[in-house]
Amino acid sequence: MSSTHDGGTHGTHGDGDGHDGGTHRNGTHGASRPSGGPTPGFLVWRLSMKWRVAVDRALAPLGLTHAQFSLLGSLMDLQQAGTRPSQRRLADHTGLEALYVSKLARTLEAAGLLERTTDPADTRAVRLSLTEQGRTLTSRAVVLVQTLMDRLLEPLGGLEGPEAAAFARELTALLDVPLHAPSTNEE
């Protein structure tokens, strides 16, 4: 249910999928493989942009962005699992930068949706928890996003379809690959 994309809709036009109309002959904006067609990375980027815009639009009536939902939804998941995560753990869980999580948490705290408290065992760490208002709003947002995801995943049999489950496993496998800095050795 949680996501790893930040909010915002920069670079989108008209159709809301990040497509600016400046495509090359093969429709790839120059992100093609030698064998032709778009690269998997380009397709993942396009899909993430399209879905982020769709989620932002769906959540706008609730006053939330996709990034805020990512944080709130992940926090709800972790709390339901019996943990009160630190901002660092939530950053690791969502894939958002720690400084961005801190900024989002302060905004959501000011809105009355979560509480930030110093960890008594480590005064450098800040623990997060949803308020009652935060749980209520997040539950409403989850319903909206799950309905949207079911519609967006319709070509794969919907959110609960076997093809969507296989797609999720493939995406998870890609997310589990550690990032390594490109080698600067030119030997």
Distances (CA, A) of 8 to 77, 108, 158: 23, 16, 26
Q: Are strands 114-119 and 122-130 parallel, antiparallel or unpaired?
A: antiparallel
User: What pTM, to 2 d.p., does this model score?
Assistant: 0.74
C-alpha dist (Å) from residue 121 to 84, 172, 184: 13, 33, 41
CA distance 77 to 148: 19
pLDDT at 178: 87
Lowest mean pLDDT among 41-55, 82-96, 133-147, 167-181: 167-181
Taking all residues of the chain, what is their mean pLDDT, rounded to a whole number? 84
- d(C-alpha 11, C-alpha 137), whole Å: 28
Instruction: Give the whole-angstrom CA distance, residue 161 versus residue 155.
Output: 10
Q: Which two tokens stand for residue 13?
A: 């036009």
Per mean pLDDT, which range of 29-43, 68-82, 147-161, 169-183 is the poorest?
Answer: 29-43
List, in order, residues 6 or more apart from 44 with CB less than 8 Å away. Answer: 174
The closest alpha carbon to 98, from 119, 121, 128, belongs to 128
Mean pLDDT of 80-88: 94
Q: What is the pLDDT of residue 185?
A: 60
Q: Which residue has the higher pLDDT, 187 or 11?
A: 187
Q: What would the DSSP string read from start to end of 26-54? A: TSSTT-B-TTSSB-HHHHHHHHHHHHHHH
Both tokens of 50, joined, read 């399209």
Q: Half-sphere exposure (CA, 13 Å, Cβ side) for 86? A: 14
The Cα–Cα gap between 49 and 35 comes to 25
pLDDT for residue 13: 36
Q: Distance between CA atoms of 103 and 17, rounded to whole angstroms?
A: 26
**12 or 90: which carries more pLDDT confidence?**
90
Domains of the chain: 41-173 (1.10.10.10)
183, pLDDT greater than 80: no
Q: Per mean pLDDT, which range of 3-17, 127-141, 152-166 is the poorest?
A: 3-17
